[in-house]
Structure 1
Amino acid sequence: MAAAAECDVVMATTEPDLLNEEEAKREAESFKEQGNAYYAKKDYNEAFNYYTKAIDMCPKNASYYGNRAATLMMLGRFREALGDAQQSVRLDDSFVRGHLREGKCHLSLGNAMAACRSFQRALELDHRNAQAQQEFKNASAVMEYEKVAETDFEKRDFRKVVFCMDRALEFAPACHRFKILKAECLAMLGRYPEAQSVASDILRLDSTNADALYVRGLCLYYEGCIEKAVQFFVQALRMAPDHEKACAACRNAKALKAKKEDGNKAFKDGNYKLAHELYTEALAIDPNNRKTNAKLYCNRGTVNSKLRKLDEAIADCTRAVTLDDTYIKAYLRRAQCYMDTEQYEEAVRDYEKVYQTEKTKEHKQLLKNAQLELKKSKRKDYYKILGVDKNASEDEIKRAYRKRALMHHPDRHSGASAEVQKEEEKKFKEVGEAFTILSDPKKKTRYDSGQDLDEEGMNMGDFDANNIFKAFFGGPGGFSFEASGPGNFFFQFG
């Protein structure tokens, strides 16, 4: 009896376990088949749920993990998929599709070397597997793109780095490292909206990603928003205190802001020499910050214009617009310097650029003034011909004419060479023209305003300079220059 009871007990505890295991396998297979059906319909969330149920029923079945890994890959959840793929090959090292999926996850996440190992293992199990062969080539290509990008980054060939990362991301779409490197290079190339977009996409998935925070700050920093940039750098350093790039950028941003503000204060205080020194020191902090450096060059150009170093001011403004060709203030400053140095064509060009960008009344008037001065500059400068200031009085104009007319009168140079006689005759005529215009208030007003003198019916090529000379000196008849000693002449009317 005791033996029979003992056997019953044994039967009672063993048989239900065997039945439950078989039932679990059948139920797990049912869940897997349902998962396959949803997968075929591309309903990956439901497929995931049923594969999970299958795994819960039979946690040591490699294919279930492999199927769920494939589903997670379709959902873009590569890190979770990698865990399932790795579990599938731990359970069955001969599971080729498990190794392929593990390699694909590694590659998608940017770990090309680990991907190569997985694909190599798949090829060891099935050396004719076409997918494994192709994926191994893809992983090898990604490693080559990484290598080239690293070299080109050191050379500051950021365009080539972006190209390499774009190619690598075709095979590794979930690699944050590649995306961050691309975004950083886009920022260095001044393509800030693109860089911001890449960094923002990463931060939506991981708000604590220090690299993405650094790139966001870098974009703001290069766009001239230094205070906001510092906030992002500080946040990045909270996430990763040893982040070298964020640390260096934060240090540069703070130094640049402080030095620029010191320069502005010195300028407002009228200490132009100190302001010039401070702006120069600020320019040495970070040559890559084009926007801020453009402002610094323009500021230093303003200082130079105050110091009447107009050529240096023009050079600084030129550097500013080279760094930022949309910087209106620099164009205006340079245009004014061009006006002050009588380089009117250059001034007109700058004012045209400004007016095309910002069509304001003020800019239109500045352009008109420059165009007028350019028009006037292309005519004969009668003030310069007479050697008088533009504000010269009537008496000063008369005295100047008397002096220049006697100096250049043809009779005075009758003994000179034909070439000299011709040149002096030309100057004598120009002196007469100048006096004719500047001694007549109406003509002088028209000349000063840039209007065409021909509109009054005056043809300056037809008048007789000798008649003007006679009329001015008031002689009754002919005139001549006679020598009164070596090199001395006196004028005598007949």
Structure 2
Amino acid sequence: MDYLVNINWNKVTPCLVLLVLEVVLEFSDCASPAEVNKHLELGRDFLARGQLSDALTHYHAAVEGDPHNYLTYFKRGTVYYALGKAKFALQDFTKVLELKADFTSARLQRANVYLKLAQYREAQEDYLQVNQADPYNEEAIAQYHKIEQYVEDLQLAEAYYRGGDHRAAADLASRLLEVSPWSAHLRQLRAEAYIALNDLFSAVSDIRSVNRLQQDSTDGYYRLATLLYQLGHVSDALKEIRECLKLDPEHKKCFPFYKKVKKVDKLLLECEELSEARDFTGCLASANKVLKVEDEVTLVVFEARRWLCSCSVKEELYTEALAQCGSALELRRDARLLCDRGDALLGLDMFDDAIHSFKEALELEEGLQRAKDGLSRAQKLQKQSEQRDYYKILGVKRSASKQEIIKAYRKAAQKWHPDNYQGDEKKIAEKKFIDIAAAKEVRHTHTHTHTHIHTDLHSRTHMHARTRRHAHTHGCKRTQVSQHFVSR
């Protein structure tokens, strides 16, 4: 006992005090059985009412109060399972089996989690053990015998994808996801197949699910952001790429992409704000800046050209608007863009083409009121245009002499000959040329006493149709028509 005498009790005593305090605090942290039971009752009540988050809160408290009760873990695991939180459900059911290995219900539930995760071999092993403990468990028996087919289908889907049969891979992955909706691997596989099929909208949905299932994945956020950007959803792409940078501020792919997307998003927002403020010149400037930053991604270019089309129309730059609307529509058919094009055509007095544009908009979006109003306005203006002031078309006064009319006619016909123009400008020239050709009636009916040009409506309609046919034939015929009119 001499060693007890040699102990420095002044040093030992504080250590003993701390140890005792730690033990006391550990016991004081544990809730009483009554408190644990209260949490379990409340958890059960919330669960019965479908208030899963509230139920989970009370089961957390019950587990903390009694960390060695396998039933409490099982109940919390069941709530996790109902919430689709596979990782935590798996942890709780595994903990139950560590505490009580023969608890068949927990093993069956864990097998079901494995099945939903497409971890088929693990599920098969648990179903087998359930069958051994409970030979009459119908659920375990049925699922056990399906596992081999699931394994084969997964291998086949992967083989389809590697072999380039992306449609078959996507279809088979979809079938497996009905059984295993929590499988990040299956969703990633289907997303890649959709991308190969250029079905980016479907791919975005799957990548979002993958990111929820695999949290804190910088690659996942980067992939989602790039897909959204390709779809022209620039603001959404910016949100996702920021999530990547929250995890890794210096990410070698996310950071440079973020800088580009941020700039494009800012410019597109400027287009919208300036348009609403009726600063259409500023809107056009911002849209052109977008094209300097991004000229490759089709649907981002479309967004820029859409604003160039819209703001050009509102600025009454109708010829420029027609070109920009045409460029945008080549990238994507859009009902509102067709309405902008229709307004530009009306500004150029191209009523037939405007009517066609508004009708096409209604085919794309049947209930679009703007298209209905535009069509009605175009038809009304077309009807009004039948009573034309041909003196105005030729740019002469009503008191002009016959020689002045002939001179103005020849000058206008030469200026607006369709062979001198290309693209949308050619359409405008054809329209002008038809009107000028019709204005030859001025020469035949001109008198200084008339204030209006009086011609027989039937003959004018016939003349319009004949002139339109000539103007839309091949180049040499149009030249012949022009020479014929000018020579007269």
TM-score by length of 1: 0.48
TM-score by length of 2: 0.49
